Amino acid sequence: MNEFISKQIEPYNDLTRELFTRGAYKDNSVYPKGGVIKARKGSLDDGLVAEIVTIVDDEKIVAAKYRIYGCPHSIASIEWICEEIDGLMIDDLNKIDISSLKNLLLIPIEKTSLILLLEDVLDEIRLQLELK
């Protein structure tokens, strides 16, 4: 069966489904002690609004939380990103490869823009950390 038909029959792989409903990093507005860095990109008109809040203490990201409006792939992606950056030293943020989500979550080509938007969110976090 070719890839196109496979994606029509099952558009979400197991990892996407797991991350989509897990909600482990959803923002519950309860933060540990530290500096709050927040970045948000997207708009309702684009069908995707993504916000990541990081709590930084002593050069380390001690918590990462998100809020999001979007499709299952975007929700799964932001859950993955927050898991990846939680506990990371801020110098290591560059090591996060958001483009790998394309294969990890089998994100269809027509949704590539969500990866770019989430990269923008993470870039904004990095920028704010550098300016601090």
Choice between 56 and 68, CB closer to other proteins: 68
Q: Does 70 bind other proteins (CB under 8 A)?
A: yes
Question: Looking at beta carbons only, is 51 or 83 nearer to other proteins?
Answer: 51
Residue 10 near other proteins by CB under 8 A = yes
Q: Does 80 bind other proteins (CB under 8 A)?
A: no
The backbone torsions φ and ψ at residue 38, rounded to the nearest 5 degrees and listed phi first, read -125, 140
**Least distance between other proteins and beta carbon 37 (Å):** 16
State the binding string over 11-30 for other proteins (x if CB under 8 A, else -).
Answer: -x----x--xx-x--xx---
Three-state DSSP string of 72-89? HHHHHHHHHHHHHHCCCE
Residues in the chain: 132
Contact 54, 125 (CB under 8 A): yes
Q: Do the bridges between strand 60-69 and strand 35-43 make them parallel or antiparallel, or are there none, so unpaired? A: unpaired
- Number of residues binding to other proteins, judged by CB under 8 A: 27
Please state, in angstroms and as integers, the Cα–Cα distance from residue 47 to each residue in 57, 76, 95, 109, following that order.
Answer: 33, 15, 28, 16
Contact positions toward other proteins, by CB under 8 A?
Answer: 1, 6, 8-10, 12, 17, 20-21, 23, 26-27, 40, 44-45, 47, 49, 51, 66-72, 75, 110
